[in-house]
Amino acid sequence: MIFKRILIVGGGAIGSCYGAYLSRGNDLTLICRAAHAEAVNSHGLVVSGALEGTFRLKASTQVTEVQPQTLILLTTKAQDVAEAARALEPSLRADTVILALSNGLRIKETIQEMTGSRFEVVRGLTFMAAELFEPGRVACWAGTTLIERTKTGEEIRALFARSGLRAELTEEIKKEEWKKLIINCIINPLTAVLRARDNEIAAPILKDVRGSLFEECASVAEAEGVRLDRNFETEVERKITGYTNYSSMYQDLAKGKKTEIAFLNGTVVELGRKHGIRTPVNEAMVGLIRFLEGKR
């Protein structure tokens, strides 16, 4: 399919970065909060970091109509996926494709449940990082987008490549989803609690904490039928040192917003109980973040 239009639903930091890349040569609309939409429509989207410049694109606070041959990138927070999909459902067409990029497990399945499985949903995982400094201004850190290997997934990958986005296909999307979850379960709560940039939590003094979080997550993943690569823990350590941004959970707490903790470490705790696996460090992270959320 040739996508004639692109909608980005959940136009925060990450969604805006995708919007900047994909706005070049595509009919694109960013669905976002009112202040951000007003700034983007008035002055353009100002981007720094891996991508530099001011990008002219349309922004709106809601989806009023979905045109034929539209690709929707769903980049909302995990806790908003079900409601976003439910709100979109009446406007979707038979040829609409949704690329589900939100954090967490069972994101694709949640969207399918909310939309009645009548539309194609492709799972994707983003390893870009982003910060929204103020309405209309974001920073992007380069990273790959993993897309599940399907015919439509290949078409999305080609679209991304034409727009300057790094994208790869995977036949092991469930495994990759778990790998992303584990990275998030380490980076997000630690940076939020310690008020640190991602690479700062690579400090040697935190090695045991990082290791405990990893081991608990890996044990639960294995119980769920996901076998991780032998060197994955080393890969996680390398990724942590490579990110200089503030995590999304850090940013959410700083802005008084609800975090994704229930869909990250909270999911590991819940599945651990299901399989009789103790996850005390993940439980501690959930408690600490819940406490900080309560102080907003």
Q: Could you read off the pLDDT of 43-57 as tens digits, one per residue?
A: 999 999 999 999 999
CATH number of 173-294: 1.10.1040.10
Any idea where the domains of the chain sit in the sequence? Answer: 5-170, 173-294
Mean per-residue pLDDT of the chain: 95
Tell whether the model's pLDDT for residue 2 goes beyond 90.
no
Percentage of residues in the chain with pLDDT exceeding 70?
Answer: 100
Q: Are 101 and 156 in contact (CB under 8 A)?
A: no
User: Could you count the other beta carbons within 10 Å of the beta carbon of residue 254?
Assistant: 12
Q: What is the pLDDT of residues 178-223, one digit of tens each?
A: 999 999 999 999 999 999 999 999 999 999 999 999 999 999 999 9
Question: Are domains 5-170 and 173-294 of this chain identical in fold?
Answer: no
Percentage of residues in the chain with pLDDT exceeding 90?
Answer: 93
**Assigned CATH topology for domain 5-170:** Rossmann fold (3.40.50)
Q: What is the pLDDT of residues 127-147, one digit of tens each?
A: 999 999 999 999 999 999 999
Q: What is the pLDDT of residues 227-242, one digit of tens each?
A: 999 899 999 999 899 8
pTM as predicted: 0.94
- HSE-CB for 5 with a 13 A CA cutoff: 15
pLDDT recorded at residue 296: 65
How big is the CA angle at 113 (ends 156 and 87), to the nearest 5 degrees?
A: 80
Q: What is the pLDDT of residues 255-271, one digit of tens each?
A: 999 999 999 999 999 99
Band of residue 244 on the pLDDT scale cut at 50, 70, 90: confident
Number of continuous H segments (helices) and E segments (strands) in the chain: 11, 12
Beta strands 145-148 and 167-170 are parallel
